[in-house]
Amino acid sequence: MPTLSGARASVSAFQPTYMPTAVFAGGTSGVGQAMAEALARQLNGRVHIILLGRSQASAERIFANIPTTEGALRAFVAVDVQSMKSVRSACDEISGKLGVQEVNFLVMSAAGPRGNSITESGVTVEGCGYFSRFLYTRTLLPLLETAARNGHNAHVMTILGAGMGYVFPKDDLMLDEARKRSWGFLRGLTVNVAAMKGIMRGVSYSDGLIAYFAATNPGIAFTHISPGQVWTKGSRYTSMGLLLTPLALLFNGLRWMGIMATPQDDAAQYMLNALLDPATTNGGVFIRDSHGGSIGSRVFDSKWTFGDHNEKLDERVGYLDGVKIPGYVGSDAAVRRLSRWTENVLAGILDA
């Protein structure tokens, strides 16, 4: 497990000959903000930074406090992750209005809303986190491919809960049945089970996301990393419901004292250590812990597409194209089901 000093040393070694472009979805707060700030400081402002989020005022404060240099882009793009059309528009603005030619780093850390309600598009608010990350990746893929062709870094990182997922379900992917089984009279008294399942599904689905895109785009790196417990500058009290208030008070107190949480600036160094790791230069899928250490990985020599619709695929959990990956909870068959379901859901939303 990398130490903080080791992570900082690795980050300081990153000195590209070109000016990289980094897109941070969720970059106006939390660990995404801290990563953007640290990368700008590391490169003395010689980096194009695009922040996607809800608060332009926050983005402007960030830009005002980081170094810059002549020709370096500093841009904020407003986005509402509960709307997939908003996510698509944000991506279109990057390649259109902003004129970005290549993206070297796409970092997705947006926490998104919490709860068990359904958005206007028919997706749970928890599910929006997964669908937005899938859509960011799919839509910005051509710009990442350009970076890879140019021999530059091309890396997608989703920050969530690597190594903590569970086996993919074969049905009820949107948790419709789980919501029906939730007991309304317990609302506000304890943790919402369906919402918790939604969070855990997001962790598992993130494994599927990086596996799907890494296999079909072998020159690009895709990382799922766990930030662990991070004490951000805007950290809020974590509620566990009225019945679990004593446990919530203990948990939040330990976080506040730094016993169970890492300060966001330190967490950013660990995340950047994984993002800039030379081992990711040739692409592949990477599962990382909260210090940026490798849990498991798989590098592809050529494109692999999970077969056609009728081809029987491996159902073994933790295997990707016949290779066992520690910390990975997908299977070839599960990833194909998940990716096709995701594409169908997004098509229904975006074409409406």
pLDDT at residue 254, rounded to an integer: 46
- What's the pLDDT band for 137 if we cut at 50, 70, 90? very high
CATH architecture of 4-233+263-347: 3-Layer(aba) Sandwich (3.40)
- What's the pLDDT band for 288 if we cut at 50, 70, 90? very high
What pTM did the predictor assign? 0.88
Using CA atoms, how far apart are residues 133 and 150, in angstroms rounded to an integer?
24
Residue that wins the pLDDT comparison between 181 and 61: 61
Mean pLDDT, the chain, integer: 85
Residue that wins the pLDDT comparison between 288 and 121: 288
Matching residue, tokens 């073994």: 316
Q: Please say if the pLDDT value at position 247 is more than 90.
A: no
Nearest to 56 by CA among 78, 31, 87: 78
pLDDT at residue 229, rounded to an integer: 81
- What's the pLDDT band for 197 if we cut at 50, 70, 90? low
Q: Please say if the pLDDT value at position 56 is more than 90.
A: yes
Residue that wins the pLDDT comparison between 136 and 192: 136
For 200, the token pair is 């855990």
**Structural domain boundaries in the chain:** 4-233+263-347
| Contacts for 50 with CB less than 8 Å, ≥ 6 apart | 21, 22, 23, 24, 27, 73, 75, 76, 77, 94, 98, 100
Over residues 248-261, mean pLDDT? 50
Q: Tell me if 189 sits within 8 A of 256, measured CB to CB.
A: no
* Side chain identity, residue 109: S
Using CA atoms, how far apart are residues 207 and 166, in angstroms rounded to an integer?
10
pLDDT at residue 168, rounded to an integer: 78
Q: Please say if the pLDDT value at position 312 is more than 50.
A: yes
pLDDT-above-90 percentage for the chain: 67
- What's the pLDDT band for 73 if we cut at 50, 70, 90? very high
pLDDT-above-70 percentage for the chain: 80
Cα–Cα distances in angstroms (integers) from residue 226 to residues 116, 217, 267, 290, in the given order: 23, 23, 10, 5
Q: Tell me if 140 sits within 8 A of 132, measured CB to CB.
A: no
Using CA atoms, how far apart are residues 178 and 193, in angstroms rounded to an integer?
8
For 338, the token pair is 């998940």
For 304, the token pair is 């692999």
Q: Please say if the pLDDT value at position 284 is more than 70.
A: yes
Over residues 112-138, mean pLDDT? 79
pLDDT at residue 135, rounded to an integer: 98
pLDDT at residue 183, rounded to an integer: 44
Using CA atoms, how far apart are residues 157 and 11, in angstroms rounded to an integer?
16
Q: Please say if the pLDDT value at position 256 is more than 70.
A: no
Q: Please say if the pLDDT value at position 244 is more than 60.
A: no
